[in-house]
Amino acid sequence: MTPLTAEMTEAATPVLRRRNALKSESPNSTPYHEPVLLGETLALLAPAPGKLFVDGTLGGGGHTEAFLKAGAQVIGLDQDPQALAFAGERLAGFGEQFTAVHANFEEIGRVMDEMGIAGIDGALLDIGVSSWQLDTPERGFSFQSDGPLDMRMNPDAPLSAADIVNTAPEGELLRIFREYGEETAARRIAQQIVKDREARPFATTFDLVRSVEKVNPRRGRAHPATKVFQALRIAVNRELEVLDAALAAFSARLNPGGRFGVITFHSLEDRRVKTFFKAGSTEWLDRPEWPAPRRNPDFQFRLLTPKPAVASEAEQSRNPRSRSAKLRVVEKTYVH
Ligand SMILES: C[S@@+](CC[C@H](N)C(=O)[O-])C[C@H]1O[C@@H](n2cnc3c(N)ncnc32)[C@H](O)[C@@H]1O
Q: Is 33 a pocket residue for ligand 1 (Cβ < 6 Å)?
A: yes
Ligand 1 near 57 CB (within 6 A): yes
Residue nearest to atom 2 of ligand 1 (CA): 130
pLDDT at 157: 94
CA proximity to 165, closest of 133, 209, 128, 130: 209
- Ligand 1 centroid to Cα of residue 129, in Å, is 6
Residue nearest to atom 8 of ligand 1 (CA): 62
- Which mutation among 153, 241, 321 tests ligand 1's pocket best, with the greatest number of atoms within 8 A of CB? 153
> Does 136 have pLDDT greater than 60?
yes
Which residue minimizes the CA distance to atom 4 of ligand 1?
Answer: 59
pLDDT of residue 29: 43
pLDDT in tens, 80-109: 999 999 999 999 999 999 999 999 999 999
Q: Return the amino acid letter for 24.
A: S
Report how far ligand 1's centroid is from the alpha carbon of 83 (Å). Answer: 8
242 in ligand 1 pocket by Cβ < 6 Å? yes
Question: What pLDDT sits at residue 217?
Answer: 83
pLDDT for residue 13 is more than 80: no
Cβ(315)–Cβ(249) under 8 Å?
no
Strands 254-264 and 326-332, by their bridges, are: antiparallel
Residue 7 has pLDDT above 70, yes or no: no
Task: Decide: 132 and 26 in contact? Cβ < 8 Å.
Answer: yes
Q: List the alpha helices (DSSP H) in the chain.
A: 6-11, 38-45, 62-69, 81-90, 108-115, 131-135, 161-167, 170-175, 181, 186-199, 205-215, 226-236, 239-252, 267-280, 313-318
Of residues 1 and 270, which shows the higher confidence score? 270
- Give the Cα separation of 2 and 178 in Å (integer): 45
Please tell me if the CB atom of residue 76 comes closer than 6 angstroms to any atom of ligand 1.
no
When pLDDT is averaged across residues 235-241 and rounded to a whole number, the result is 97
Does 61 contact ligand 1 (Cβ within 6 A)? yes
Whether 121 shows a pLDDT value over 60: the answer reads: yes
Residue 17 has pLDDT above 60, yes or no: no
pLDDT in tens, 285-307: 999 999 999 999 999 999 999 99
Rounded average pLDDT over 133-137: 92
Say what the pLDDT of residue 16 is: 36
Q: 204 C-alpha vs ligand 1 centroid, how far in Å?
A: 24
Q: What is the pLDDT of residue 336?
A: 59
Q: For residue 24, what pLDDT is reported?
A: 37
Please tell me the distance between residue 221's alpha carbon and the centre of ligand 1 in angstroms: 27
3-state helix, strand, coil in the chain (%, to 5): 45, 15, 40
Q: How far apart are CA 267 and CA 73, in angstroms?
A: 32
In the prediction, which pLDDT does 334 show?
66
Ligand 1 contact via 79 beta carbon (within 6 Å): yes
Residue 335 pLDDT level (bands cut at 50, 70, 90): low
Q: What local confidence, expressed as pLDDT, does residue 20 receive?
A: 32
Give the rounded percent of residues in the chain with a pLDDT score beyond 90. Answer: 85
In the chain the first and final C-alpha atoms are separated, in Å, by: 18
User: What is the b/e burial string over 177-213, where b = at least 16 CB atoms within 10 angstroms of the residue's CB?
Assistant: bbebbebebbbbbbebbbebbeeeebebbbbbbebbb
